[in-house]
Amino acid sequence: MNFKQIILICIISLWGSTLLAQFNIEKFSNPQKYGWQNLQERQLGRDQITSHQKLLQIYEMKKIPAWRNMMQAGIMPGWGQFNTNDYTKGQVFLGIELILIGSSYYYFDQASEKYDLYKNSTYIGDIKQYYNDASTFNGYAQGLLAVASLVWIYNLYDVYNSTEEYNANLWNSILKEYDSDKIQVSLHPLGFEVKF
């Protein structure tokens, strides 16, 4: 069983399990499913959503979109972490990437040099030696580049998590400020007015 077949089986089994689940309209439309036993509780739920809805505008202005941060992290590893104020991580990712790519380039340069010598060599002993050296250095360069790629991917994964965490904390701090009356939101015919 090859790699593609394993992935295909996983996707089909997940889809199948979803299809097998029976839809229960009574359960789906149960008026008490969200815990609103009466009008007051329902109104409380609505009031909470309405008050949070007003704060979404502030959140949208201040949040960092994950896709933008990932793009920036893709261009320069560590950039995304800098955006989310995760400076140490940013420096580590940038440093590791620079070392790995730099080392890879160094070995690639060494491999090229050895390869040139191999091509211009006339003595059979040198030919074999230069070729082996070029192959070894090239292997190092490829390996380091592969590791750099994995770190780059992990960097993207980490940036996504950092951005999510940053945005979640941002929302919590907006809620906190709203609760402590530092933010005042009022409704107007043309939209919301936010006072800090």
Partner 1 sequence: MKKFIILGILVITSWGCSNNYYQTGEKLFSKKNYVSAIEQYDLSIEKDQNGARKTKAELARSESYYQLGLMAFEKENWLLATRLLFLSNSITADQHLDNCYYKLSETSFAESDTSATLDYYEKIISYLPESEMIPEIYFNRINIYLNRNELFNLLEDFKQLWNNHRDDQFTKKAHPLVDAIIPNVVSAITSEREHGDLVKSIETLHILEEYSIQHKELVNTEIALTYTQLAEAKLASKDYAAAYQYFLSSFQYDALLAQKNKARIDEIRNGFTKNGDDHLKNFQFEQAISCYEKCFLIMPKDQIATDKIAYAKHRKIEAKEAELLFDNALTQERDDKYQAALKIYLKSQKLVNNSEVKTKIFEMKNLMRAIKEPRSFAQEIVLNYQKGKLVNNVYAIEDSMLTKYGDTVVEVSGWKVLFTSNNLKYDVRYDIISPYENYYFIWKVDLRNRKLTAMNKRSDELLN
Contact residues for partner 1 (CB under 8 A)? 3, 7, 23, 25, 28-31, 33-34, 36, 39, 42, 45-46, 49, 52-53, 55-56, 59, 63, 142, 145-146, 149-150, 153-154, 156-157, 160, 164-165, 167-168, 170-172, 175
Paired strand residues for 195: 184
CB of 3 to partner 1, least distance (A): 7
Q: Would you say 78 or 130 has its CB closer to partner 1?
A: 78
Measured CA to CA, the distance from residue 62 to residue 170 in angstroms comes to 8
35: helix, strand or coil: coil
Q: Would you say 29 or 122 has its CB closer to partner 1?
A: 29
CB of 112 to partner 1, least distance (A): 20
Q: Would you say 12 or 56 has its CB closer to partner 1?
A: 56
| First and final C-alpha spacing in the chain | 61
| 187 burial level (CB within 10 Å; 0-12, 13-18, 19+) | exposed
CB of 115 to partner 1, least distance (A): 20
CB of 92 to partner 1, least distance (A): 19
Structure tokens at 33: 């499913």
Measured CA to CA, the distance from residue 156 to residue 148 in angstroms comes to 12
CB of 135 to partner 1, least distance (A): 16
**Dihedral, 183, 186, 187, 191 alpha carbons, nearest 10:** -50
Q: Would you say 38 or 186 has its CB closer to partner 1?
A: 38
